[in-house]
Structures are given as C-alpha cells and as structure tokens.
Structure 1
C-alpha cells in the first residue's frame, strides 16, 4: 500500500481450474497508478514464485454485510505473462505461443516465456503434450518440456520429435462396444461385491435464493443427453463385458425433490450418498434436491466412479450451469457439440495400445519398460507400525491434517525451481527419505494416480480416465537430497512418458505375490 496510486489491495490464492493455483492481486487504484511501476517494485521485493500472476483493478473491494472482504465476489482474473521476450519468428513458434496461452490461461506469450514460470506443472504439462500432438502432429516427450521449457527451446527440440500417435476421433462403432480398461477395473469389483456405494462420488451444494426446480430438472436431463457416459449401463456375455449407451430420449432423468427440515439435512444427504448403484440397470448418476424452504436447498449430485473422475467435475459443473441458465430463460442450452464421447475413447484406447504381446506396439513397448523398471520390486515395505497388518485388508483409514508454514512452502517451491523439478517431486523425495529412515529399505515404490487424459479431445468429457503409476525411488548410496531429487526427476519423467499402459495390465504381467492383506506393487 506504500505504492503510489493504490488505496487498497489484497492478494488471494485462487484455483479456478482444479490443481492450478495462482496468486492474484486485487487493487483499488487512483489516477497515479501505473502497473509497470508496481510490477517492478514487486519484482524487487519478492522472489518470482511469491509474485502475483495477475493484477485486477477494482473500483472498490467487495465486502460482506459485516464489513469483511467478500472473497467469493472477487472476479476471476485474466492472466498475462510478465516476461518481456521476443515475438514468434516462425509459424511453429507462433502456434506454440498460442498453446502455452491456452493451457496456462494467460494472455500473449513470447518465445522466451518459461512454461513453469507462468504457472505450469506436471498435469498441465501432460495437457500441453496432448495439444502439441494434435495441433503440430509431433510427439513431445514430457521430459523435453522440463529440459527446454521456453517456446524457443521447445520449437528447436520439436524438429527431432518422433512420429505422432493416432488422434482420438469419433468413428463408426461396432455393435458391441467394450469397456475401457478403467471401467473393467470397477466392473470386476461390481461383479465381485454386487451393487455398492464404495465407488460413489458425491458433490453437495447449499443453494440460497429462488430456485427453479423445473429448470434444474430439465438441465439435468440436458447434461445426461450431452454426455453418453451418464446414460451408459453395463452387461456381459460369453465374450466379456460391454457397455450399452441408452438413447437420450429413453434415459429417464433421476431427479428427486425431497422436503426436509434443517435438522434432517445431514442425515438425509448421507443416506442418499450411500445409494448402491446397480450398474446393469441404473444410470450411473442421480440427483437429489433437498428443500429446506423456498429459499434454502441442498443439492446432491451423485455419480458412480465408472462414469466420472475428479477432472470430470469441471465439465460437469460448467455444463449443468449453462443448461440451467438456458432453461431458466426458456431456451435449450446452445453449447458446442462434443468432438467425441467416452465410448469413442474406449475403442481408441484399445486401438492405440495394441496387443501387449507385440513388442512393437505401444502396449508392448511400455510393458517392456515397466518390466525392467519394476524388476525385483520388494513385495511390501517393512515399516515399524504400532500393530500387525491384518490378514485381510479392511480398507479403513483416516486423514491427518496439518499446515505447511508459508516460509517452508516458499523454500520448497524455491528448491523445486532451482533443481528444475516440481513441488510434487520434492515431496516424493522427502517421503522416500522418511520411509528409508524409518527402516523401509532403500527401494521405495510409491503409487500415484494420474489424470490419464493423454489426448486433448477428452478435456471436456465426463468419464473415468484415471490410471495409476508406480514411482520407484532409489535412496541407496546416501545421496544428498539434491542428488536424490535428480533421481526422482529422471524416474518420474520416464514414468509419465509410459503412462498409457493400464495399471491392471501391468499387475497381470508382473504377477506379484497376491495377498488380501496389501495392495500389489505398492502400499
């Protein structure tokens, strides 16, 4: 506030896209304000990772009725790069600048801008790789992006990139559409356990104000019509499991309005969230609207994991909101048609992976890598637990919350930047170090979920794409932490480059000792 032209200011950490956190400054200005002067002052006073990514000028900071800052009323910013770099010199550089801007949600990008300095991370890097593949027709190893993160450096590196894989497009479908590998995983468990709430994904919202029930019901139907994954049921025959996409006109909208008292809401929501989906007959989505009063509602949107994942929450929320807005105005939603549906992805996945017994197929090459990478993996880590592991895992657990102090977080991100790694890699190395020092040995396999959306045609789909990677960390030889980070970085980047092989196929191929007591390949 000691800068000229600024009367009030606040800096907020925003996450407008899941997993994409940005610092944003909101300032109330006077005629003396100059953004360049402010940016220079901030750059002089703070390291780059503590500087706001965007500056939003307001006439006044929004306040709640009791006079506090109303964070929810702060507008979504428009991000702009801060590097004063060169403009594109070639068509390829111009396209890459556009892809950087698209993926990172920033303004004009120069060829000297660094992907990670603009807020990039591993998840966004995977998206960029997909967009480069579909737009430029070349295969970009994710490792290359870490090694040459500027547009100029990446453009030079792409000259030697490999052949692109087949793009995901909508093609004529066979009469019998197989399950994706991720769906097969949950279908097997459904057959084993029967209808269950184990893999339910609930989302609840408390809504205050006038709500148009009919418009919301219609919008739910619009959502189900738009996304085939939400009107798919499953069955199997002598050839195995397959999916049946119901026509939109016969897929009944599972929308229920329930009158409840305020005291009943929590119990009724919990009860509804435990609905046991029968995947052979039920649509994998249901919605309840609990009406407390004409001005107070609680909305529960329940989706089975076989039809959705964490990434899916964004397109689901965007499409439901757009449909409700249109229906309230008496119109049908005028959204752009989806380029593909989940069934197209399931067929494409089998085509791209190929036969894993073929050494030249994508599945064959990736399986060969994982066999070598995970050879002689320890069956399980020997940890000094305070009680014996049960003979059969009961899958109960707990969550321990803690706060990382701001100073420590600053040091963690500083270390990541100075070693050309990510905060995830730093924490992975720390976890491996901790486990080794607790007697788990020097060969530490750590499991992590990944988004699994390796083609940009899947970005706006609701569906189940998640896969699992095993990140094997070698802590032997008493390395320094920076040396260990180098090992982790190399392991992770190579693992990301071999992320297409479904985890279940890997387990089948490696055939580790099976146990009801613990998970295969990692704990």
Structure 2
C-alpha cells in the first residue's frame, strides 16, 4: 500500500535532498544493558516492534511525480551485533549515530555492542521522519513487553493498533490548510526581527555545515518542584515557566523585547495515534513582546497567552508557515527559529527487562538544527537532564556553557522570588 507523505515527512525529505554533509535529522536512542541479556530474545523483540509499527518499515520515495511513504510487508534484518572494547565505545557510538540513513531503504539502524558477557549497549539511530519524543515512550513500552513475553514463554499483552500514519497523511492532505489560520500567522509574524538572539563568537558562514556540539547539565528536583509551584501560582504549566525563563535569558543578552523561539507541537490528538511510533510533532514559532519592568510571574502569564495563541493554530505545518511569510530559504541562517526549547518531562516509561539494569545514554550527534536548542529531559522522579545543543560554527563552548548557566541561574532566582522584575533577574549583557 502506498500513501502520501505527511507534511512533516515531506518537509524533512526535501531538507535532506538539499543538504550536503551530515544530516541534522538523525536521532539516537541508546541504552546500556547490564546483566544476563538474552540476545536472541532482544532481537526477536525488536523485530516484533518493527512488525507491529509500520513507520519503522516504511520507505520514503519520490515515485511517479509524488512524494510517498511505502510500508514494507515484513521487517528485514533489524539488529547488528558486534563486539566492542569499553575504551572504543564512545567513538563507536558517535560513529553509529552520525552515519547517514537512506530513507528509500529504512528509517532506522540498530546495533548491539557487546562489551562483556554481561555488559551491552543497544544503540538505535532513527531518522526524525520516523520518530518524535512520544515515540520513545512507545518503543520502551513495546520492547519491554515483547522481550518479557519471549523470556517468560507467553503471548505479548499489547492491544492491536487501530491507527496508521498513512491514513493520517491522507486525512490531513484532504483537509488542506485553513486560510484563516494562515492569515492569523501572517499577522502574528509580521515584522518579526531577523536580528541574532545571541551575540555570535564568529560571523555566520555563507554555507553553514550545521555542525554542532552538546553540553549537559542537571535541573535538580528542588528546582523543578519550585517551577511547579510558580506554574500553579500562575495557573499555568511547568513548560510555560521554562519558556518564560528562556525569554528572560535571551532578553538579558541583547536587550531585545520582541523575541521568538521555537517549541514542539504534537498533532497526535486522536487516541488511535497515541500507540504509534512516528513523527507527529512539528516546530511552532512563539513570538512574545516582553515587558522587562514587569515581574517574572507576569512574564509567565504573557508567555502563557503567546503559547495558547500559537497552539490554537498549530495545524499549519512549519514548512507551509515559512512559505507563507516568505522565509522558506536558509540563506546562511535559520529562516525563522534560531532558538528551540524542547521539554520531555512526561512520566518515564523505562526499558524494564527482567534481570537487566538499563541506563539511558546521551550521545552527541555532532550537528545542530538551530543556533541553539535546549532539551530538558526527565531522568528521575523530579530531576531533569538538560542538554544545550549549539552550532559550533557560531559559538565557543564557553559561550554555550554561559548560556546554560545563565538560564539555570535565572530560573533558580525567578522561582525563589517570582515577583522580581525581568530586568533585575536578567540584567543586560552587551557581550559574553
């Protein structure tokens, strides 16, 4: 069966065709597995996940003048197994997660590294056309259930899937783009600044390679608890508080009050889409006019309004929005969103294999989709792991570390005294 690509798949497929060098659309799911791993059961479990989830066996093609997705009837080989010395692991993981994927063949590659008889690392590289953050929760749940069923000698306990990404693409394309939503986006983004949000350490290259690096930090449990307190006081969400802190941090660098960041938006909605692995998220620009003389609590309220307004018109694909406002070409800098905020603080669905200690590993992909992107990922009951991804063609590592530190410091101060003005929290930095 052949289906049209989703709008998101189409935009990413076209981006890949125009990209030379490393792809910025590769995603890594990596876990260290310590214990008596049943390798055959793991391979069977992963094969069954691919059999169950059509997106993981779907090819993306330009066929007969159309961009289409074509699910294979059966999964092919899904897992490569190789020995690896512990001192070689970091280099091997970087190599695996940075190796190009051919979308005409498969949207993922899985490798099991054996470090010792009771020590393994499972690394799965995905193309972003096939996964979003929610997909990893689905993957963790299904891989766990299939593996447990195999080693326990029972049938897997998973409800049949009733949705399909191909059907979703057909419905959305039939519905078309709402002209009223497009008009509202034109009005929202009219006159948006093209000024850099952060002082650059180097001029932008004419032909950026979009290479990048990452640095990690933690948001401790007491700070996330404080964020929830402020969110309750503002009748808002923790995401809104983190976004407000980003706006205040960016204001502190340039003094700009008209600011725009990108946030992910999910288009799952229908219950039938929740159990699917697939890319059902897109980038959404959020524009905010900040009043620095007002309190952080008031900034949270303003951020809530901006997010709510953008969310109401989330059905416009980001690529279509860029075309609408005439910003679809790259031209040496991101066409609209320079800074992206991604928060994955949903309750964890761990990889829970019997007799196995599973630990998630974060591997730097060596690229950067934006000038900077901040990822906040739940790792414990209340702790978030922060990853700041930055374009190393533009910023030194010390600059990126300063941004991460300034964000964490401002957030901590704002949570402790949310009535403090943005000016007092952020100050103004003419340069780093």
Structure 1 or 2, whichever has the larger Rg, is 1
Q: 1:435 to 1:319 in 2, by over 3 A?
A: closer
**Helix, strand or coil: the match of 1:241?**
strand
CA positional deviation for 1:383:
4.5
Q: For 2:99, which of 275, 278, 292 is the aligned residue?
A: 275
Q: Cα gap change, 1:374/1:289 in structure 2, threshold over 3 Å: closer, same or farther?
A: same
TM-score, normalisation: structure 2: 0.71
SS at match of 1:307: coil
Match of 2:9 in 1: 183
Correspondence for 2:148: 325
Q: Distance in 2 between matches of 1:216 and 1:459?
A: 24
Which residues in structure 2 correspond to 1:134-149 (within 5 Å)? none
Structure 1 unaligned blocks of 5 or more: 1-174, 357-362
- Matching of residues 430-449 of structure 1 within 5 Å: 430-449=245-264
Q: Give, in angstroms, the shift of residue 476 of structure 1.
A: 4.9
Q: 1:503 Cα shift?
A: 0.5
User: 1:228–1:245: 8 Å Cα contact kept in structure 2?
Assistant: yes
Q: Which has the higher strand share?
A: 2
TM-superposed deviation, 1:324: 1.5
1:370, distance to aligned residue in structure 2 (A): 1.0
Residues of 2 paired with 1:215 and 1:388: CA distance?
A: 52
Q: 1:233 aligns with which of 59, 65, 78?
A: 59
> Equivalents in 2 of 1:408, 1:305: separation in Å?
31
* Contact 1:220-1:253 at 8 Å conserved across structures: no
Map 1:392-403 onto structure 2 (within 5 A): 392-402=207-217
Out of 286-295 and 326-335, give the one that drifted further.
326-335
Instruction: Name the counterpart of 2:384.
Output: none
1:355 aligns with 2:181: no
- Does the CA contact (< 8 Å) of 2:197 and 2:250 recur in 1? no
Residue aligning to 2:357: none
Deviations 1:484-513 (A, max 9, x none): 333222121121121121110100111138
Determine the C-alpha separation between the residues in 1 that align with 2:76 and 2:83.
22
Q: CA deviation at 1:478?
A: 4.2
Pair 1:448–1:330, CA change in 2 (3 A): same
What are the residue-to-residue correspondences of 1:336-347 with 2, within 5 Å? 336-347=159-170
Structure 1 pair 211–488 and aligned structure 2 pair: CA distance change class (3 A): closer
Alpha-carbon offset, residue 231 of structure 1: 0.5
CA distance in structure 1 between the aligned counterparts of 2:212 and 2:203, rounded to whole angstroms:
15
1:519 aligns with 2:368: no
**Distance verdict in 2 for CA 1:427–1:293, change over 3 Å:** closer
Q: Which residue of 2 aligns with 1:294?
A: 117
CA contact (8 A) 2:265 2:284 kept: yes
Q: Check whether the contact 1:233–1:279 (CA below 8 A) recurs between aligned residues.
A: yes
Please state how far the C-alpha of 1:459 moved relative to its aligned partner: 1.2
Which residue pairs with 2:195 in the alignment?
Answer: 380
Matches within 5 A, 1:8-47: none
The residue number in structure 1 matching 2:416 is none
User: How far has the Cα of 1:460 moved from its partner?
Assistant: 1.2
Aligned to 1:129: none
Paired residues of 1:380 and 1:522 also in contact (CA < 8 A): no
Paired with 1:408 and 1:289, the residues of 2 have a C-alpha distance of: 36
CA distance in 2, matches of 1:201, 1:412: 28
What residue is the counterpart of 2:360 in the other structure?
Answer: none
Instruction: Indicate if the aligned counterparts of 1:206 and 1:297 stay in contact, CA closer than 8 A.
Output: yes
Maintained 8 Å contact 1:514/1:520: yes
Structure with larger RCO (C-alpha < 8 A, sep 6+): 2
1:315 matches 2:315: no
Paired residue for 1:460? 275
Deviation at 1:237, TM superposition (A): 3.0
Say which of 226, 234, 237 aligns to 1:422: 237
Partner of residue 492 from structure 1, selected from 275, 297, 307: 307
The residue aligned with 1:216 is 42
